[in-house]
Amino acid sequence: MLWKLKQLQGPRTMETVHLGLDDTDSSEGMCTTYLATLIVERLLDYNCEFLDYPNLIRLNPNIPWKTRGNAAICLRFRTDLVDAVFDECRDIVSMYSESKRGKADPGLVLLKSHKIPGDFRRLSERALHTVISRSEVVKILKQYNVRHYQEGSGRGLIGALSAIGNSLDKDHTYELIAYRPLKANGPRKIDLHSIFHMDEATKSHTFNNLDPEEGRILISSHGPDPVLFGIRGEDPHLLKEAASMLRLGEPKERMMIFRSNQGTGEHLREELDPQAPAYNSGKIRGMVSENPMTGRGGHVFFSLENSKGALNCAVYEPTGSMKKKAALLQQGDSIEVGGGIRKKGNKHGKILNVEYLKVLALSKSFIQRNPLCSNCGKKMTSDGYVNGFKCGSCKTRSRRVQFRVSRRMLKRGLYLPHPSAQRHLSKPLQRHGREKDREPARPSGMWFEIF
Ligand code: ATP
């Protein structure tokens, strides 16, 4: 082994390395997380010392050119063979990415530094909620003299650098992903009862295993990628226990545990300006300025206004219960919504695709009712627009209308889409109030296995 030879030659001078990777897959095959496992396998041969679990960083989910969930990867480790390691990783990207079929634009970035520079952090922050240009990334790479590699248009450099810049210092989650052999195809064979059992037994520390409202399994997909299943949760060790509860009808080829910003709602932290350009994500507070309208397909539309302007909002049918709640909004309600700006189209203007709805205060509405007779106390009846009201018992007349506050069917609170309509980054209800606020320890236990 190479590292053994090195050891014989004297003490090792280890350097801290952050390796970012993105855009290696397409809707027809591969998965950037799987490619990361191939790289980790090779890095372990080189005796690299991992400083963190592999980071699975989700970026702005409203970028239209993403393949699926806009994921990028960063591996953080120490090595004394920086250049050799980079060459190996570059070869793996070349050999396995979808770029060889012209279907991906990979980017690989290697930053050699103990600290992550502010420019990386700031760009990464913006990549969560805005659109970043490749030229901006290339400028930073040049400025810091960072070794990098690209294929195709090299758009993957954006995600690769952004992944390095997000060190997940605050809230984070974990995902254990198990893979099947690359050539495997057909539906994933996982016993359904074991999934329900695992979900029930691990409810307090895993999330979005299934969507009970839609009756859908969310730990596995139907795509041509090698992912067999992925379980998301709060603790890497408990995820291994959860995975062991599944009864599989086909072999696992490998598994790896990632640390991630999934389930943290990180992309919706920034305030959105009503004038924000298309594909920006964030949150905005304001008053409902027009009553909602349910359009074709069951989608609900309303507009919101604050001191900076007005914004049209859409809550789509697949969001299920959130759409039903949005339909109950009324003019004057004070709300906060989070989501992404959809580009203006031929049939619609710029619109916010709502990812969560928080009702802060409900406006009052009044219903007119017939007054009670001031003489005998009986309920009066209408005597036409001109005459007002008349008491049927003592014939007293009145022009005074009475109102009562109408009962609202909506309550203050947070409303989210069905789990199956949530983004990877969306913070599920059960994670609210459970955010982590400290840096994690180094990876421990069997976080990477080949079977
Ligand atoms: P998967 O989730 O299956 O790994 P994906 O959804 O991450 O795939 P990619 O194939 O990686 O999709 O394509 C996303 C592309 O968008 C990448 O090239 C990435 O660099 C780029 N990208 C990510 N975030 C931004 C952003 N904020 N601005 C501009 N480009 C971005």
CATH of the domain at 346: 2.40.50.1010
As given in the structure block, the two tokens for residue 403 are: 């109102």
Q: Could you tell me if residue 182 is inside a domain?
A: yes
Q: What is the pLDDT of residues 85-115, one digit of tens each?
A: 999 999 999 999 887 777 889 999 999 999 9
| Residue 274: inside a domain | yes
Q: Which residues contact 336 (CB under 8 A, 6 or more apart)?
A: 283, 284, 285, 357, 358, 360
Give backbone dihedrals phi and psi of 368, rounded to 5 degrees, phi first.
-75, 140
From residue 212, give the alpha-carbon distance in Å to each of 200, 320, 417.
Answer: 12, 12, 12
Q: Which comes out higher in pLDDT, residue 9 or 22?
A: 22
For the Cβ of 134 lying below 6 angstroms from any atom of ligand 1, the answer is no
Verify that 150 and 64 share a domain, yes or no: yes
Q: Is the pLDDT of residue 318 over 80?
A: yes
Q: What is the DSSP letter of 430?
A: G
How far is the centre of ligand 1, averaged over its atoms, from the C-alpha of 3 (Å)? 34
Q: Label residue 330 by pLDDT band (50, 70, 90).
A: very high
Residue 447 lies in a domain: no
**Is the beta carbon of 69 within 6 A of some atom in ligand 1?**
yes
Q: What is the mean pLDDT of the chain?
A: 93
260 class by beta-carbon count within 10 Å (0-12 exposed, 13-18 middle, 19+ buried): buried
Asked whether residue 19 falls in the same domain as residue 114, the answer is: yes
Do 124 and 89 share a structural domain?
A: yes
Residue 3 domain-assigned (yes or no):
no
Taking residues 233-246, report their average pLDDT. Answer: 97
Q: Is the CB of 24 under 6 A from ligand 1?
A: no
**CA-26 nearest atom, ligand 1:** 10
In a domain, 378, yes or no: yes
Test site for ligand 1: of 24, 34, 70, most ligand atoms within 8 A of the Cβ: 70
- Residue 151 is assigned to a structural domain of this protein: yes
Ligand 1 lined by 22 (C-beta under 6 Å): yes
- Contact criterion met (CB below 8 Å) for 339 and 352: yes
Does ligand 1 have an atom closer than 6 angstroms to the CB of 23? Answer: yes
Q: Quote the ligand 1 centre to 67 CA distance (angstroms).
A: 7
The last residue of one of the domains, among 265, 296, 328, is 265
The answer on 396 and 288 residing in a single domain is: no
Give the residue among 130, 127, 133, 204 at the shortest CA–CA distance from 164: 127
- Domain identity same for 219 and 101: no
Question: Quick one: 352 and 394 in the same domain?
Answer: no
Going by pLDDT thresholds of 50, 70 and 90, the confidence category of residue 429 is very high
With a pLDDT cut of 70, the percent of the chain lying above it is 98
Half-sphere exposure of 117 (CA within 13 A, CB side): 14
Residue 435 lies in a domain: no
**Among 209, 244, 265, where does a domain finish?**
265
Query: Looking at the predicted structure, is the pLDDT value of residue 241 above 60?
Result: yes
Question: Could you say which of 249, 265, 281 is where a domain stops?
Answer: 265
User: For ligand 1, is residue 65 a contact (CB within 6 Å)?
Assistant: yes
Do 288 and 358 have their domain in common? yes
Q: What is the pLDDT of residue 26?
A: 79
Give the pLDDT of residue 349. 84
pLDDT digits (tens, 9 = 90+) for 398-409: 988 888 888 899
Averaged pLDDT, 282-293: 96
User: Is the CB of residue 159 below 6 angstroms from any atom belonging to ligand 1?
Assistant: yes
420 has pLDDT over 90: yes
For the purposes of burial, counting CB atoms within 10 Å of the CB of 18, is it exposed (0-12), middle (13-18) or buried (19 or more)? buried
Phi, psi angle pair for 229, to nearest 5°:
-160, 160
Tokens describing residue 408: 């609202």
Where is average pLDDT lowest: 23-27, 61-65, 265-269, 393-397?
A: 23-27
CATH of the domain at 73: 3.30.70.2200
Q: How confident is the model at residue 308 (pLDDT cuts 50, 70, 90)?
A: very high
59 alpha carbon to ligand 1 midpoint, in Å? 7
Q: What is the pLDDT of residue 347?
A: 77
pLDDT of residue 94: 93
- Is there a single domain that holds both residue 134 and residue 154? yes
Residue 157 CA, closest ligand 1 atom number: 20
Instruction: Provide the residue range defining the domain that includes 260.
Output: 173-265
Q: How confident is the model at residue 4 (pLDDT cuts 50, 70, 90)?
A: low
Which CATH number belongs to the domain containing residue 198 in this structure?
3.90.600.20
Q: Is residue 88 part of a domain?
A: yes
Considering its fold, how many domains does the chain have in total?
A: 4
Residues 414 and 401 grouped into a single domain:
no
How far away, in angstroms, is 159 Cα from ligand 1 center?
6
Q: Say if residue 296 is in the same domain as residue 418.
A: yes
- State residue 404's pLDDT score: 85
Looking at the structure, do residues 325 and 225 belong to the same domain, yes or no? no
Q: Ligand 1 pocket: which of 21, 56, 58, 59 to mutate (most atoms <8 Å of CB)? A: 59
Query: Does ligand 1 lie within 6 Å of residue 131's CB atom?
Result: yes
Q: How far apart are CA 271 and CA 279, in angstroms?
A: 14
Ligand 1 binding pocket mutation candidate from 21, 22, 164 (most atoms within 8 A of CB):
22
Strand 254-260 relative to strand 55-58: parallel, antiparallel, unpaired? parallel
Q: What percent of the chain has pLDDT over 90?
A: 81
Identify whether the C-beta of residue 164 lies closer than 8 Å to the C-beta of residue 116.
Answer: yes
CA of 153 to the centre of ligand 1 (A): 13
253 lines ligand 1 (CB under 6 A): no
Provide the strand spans (E) within 307-399.
309-315, 334-342, 351-361, 366-369, 381-382, 389-390, 397-398
Mean pLDDT score, 251-270: 97
Query: Quick check: CB of 398 below 6 Å from ligand 1?
Result: no
| Count of residues making up the chain | 451
How far apart CA 11 and CA 373 sit, in angstroms, is 100
Residue 294 and residue 312 in one domain: yes
pLDDT bin (cut points 50, 70, 90) of residue 2 is low
Of 179-188, 206-215, 384-393, which range is least confident? 384-393
Ligand 1 atom closest to 22 (CA): 11
